Amino acid sequence: MKRIYFDYAASTPVDPAVTAAMRPYFSKIFGNPSALHRFGQEASAAVFKARLGIAKSLGADYREIIFTGSATEANNLALRGAVKSFVYSQATAFRNQNIFAPAAKISSPSARWSRLSSGTKPSVSAGCSSKQSAFVQNFLQPKIIVSTIEHESILETCRDLEKDGIEVVYIPVSKDGIVDLKKIKTALDERTVLVSIMHANNEIGAIQPISAIAEVISNWKLVNRKKIPIFSCQLPVTSYPLFHTDAAQSFQYLDCRPENLGVDLMTLSAHKIYGPKGIGVLYARNWQMVNSDSGIKSQRTNYQLPITNYISPIITGSGQEFGLRSGTDNVPYIVGFAKAVELISNSRELENKRVGKLRDYFWRGFKKINSKIAVNGSMKERLPNNLNIYFPGNRAQELLIKLDLAGIAASLGAACSSRVSKTSYVLRAMGFSLDRASSSLRFSLGRQTAKRDIDYTIATLIKFLKIRR
């Protein structure tokens, strides 16, 4: 039986060259990269080389590359780490000013924003000065802005943060799956810690206008810089709101250089680009290039850098990854990630054209089956390997099983959600009916996809689709 794979958006096979690059680090160069002896130094050198390679592909500094255990962890570090640092920065500002009497102290930063979420302000002792009152009244409750179609590692993290009193604003999308820039602009205020909008959606392949969003945020900073509350002179006011994008799906196909996108934080995943599972990256702009006494100027940006780090670790321990992600570095997987990045950087343009032509050929084949078949999302602002197809009158789960029995792998949507058979929240957020969301399948192409695979799939679908002519 044929075996045809149309689920490259869920995961990709490890490239043989990646496997070969990783192999020595399982048994030959196996030392702990934190160790001082030669075995450790060899492993550490491999990590450093990999970090340099990934940084070069992004036009970044090697110290801006933070290795994590997955893209999900990188997303968590971006969101939770930014909120944690924002709250701690405020606590530091209060402490450094020494404005509170003992009775005014609150047990923890968590308690501070929990009180704010219930509509109360920290209290101060009788006889407080006007400066003390201003500090208290201007204590900022953290706020995050995300779209309604983000990956679940973003949305579920936001829902968890909401339980702790963090405000989250969910920006709607159009029928094409594109975020509303005007609503992002309206949602921005002095409490906004971070805006997180994915570069390209994992279900429908919709490419978001990241550079335009970055411009909206940058313009807001310029206009509102003087409106920051009194105590914010102690905070990295020129960094907030931070801008994060999840580029796990887009990195293989699009220009993801942070300087071009205008982002502060960016998530990458190895297993989406023919690398190993279990390794991710968080790009964090200039976070470590900070003078603890005064702000410094970046050589690559025009705005002043923060006087405190703008993300804090969520996994603590021995302080690996510049103190942002503790845990022994996974040397083989880090090496594999870097090799995968090298390979896609060398083949991106040609592969984009090849896969794009196959995708369009696939779409024409669907239309030949029946004109009622429709694509979900825009065919223009879309990753070249993605098709999300609506089959009216057919249950997607039934189609998926029939295709699988014929040796064809497709997907209901996000791989992380498919096993529980949930209706696509992405399609529902785009305004499509429950019936349409329940009758749609994702086909994502990759390096091994050939024209004959598409022909076989179309011929197979013709046999059992209820809408065939």
Separation CA 17–CA 403 (nearest Å): 31
Separation CA 214–CA 226 (nearest Å): 20
Of 250, 77, 75, 207, nearest in space to 154 by CA: 75
Q: Is 184 helix (H, G, I), strand (E, B) or coil?
A: helix
Active-site entry in 158, 233, 256, 416:
416
Separation CA 158–CA 111 (nearest Å): 18
Of 201, 243, 232, nearest in space to 388 by CA: 201
Burial class (CB in 10 A: 0-12, 13-18, 19+), 309: buried
Query: Is 158 tagged catalytic?
Result: no
Question: Which phi and psi angles does 340 have, rounded to 5°?
Answer: -60, -40
Of 38, 39, 8, 58, nearest in space to 337 by CA: 58
Separation CA 158–CA 35 (nearest Å): 37
Q: H-type helices in 195-311, by residue range?
A: 210-224, 258-261
Strands 280-284 and 374-375, bridge-based pairing: unpaired
Strands 192-196 and 242-246, bridge-based pairing: parallel
Ramachandran area for residue 323 (φ above 0: left; ψ -120 to 50: alpha; else beta): left
The arrangement of strands across the sheet holding 65-68 comes to 65-68, 280-284, 265-269, 242-246, 192-196, 143-147, 167-171
Of 95, 141, 136, nearest in space to 117 by CA: 141
**One-letter amino acid identity for 367?**
K
Strands (E), 40-152: 65-68, 143-147
Separation CA 245–CA 201 (nearest Å): 11
Strands 440-444 and 408-409, bridge-based pairing: unpaired
Give catalytic residue positions: 416
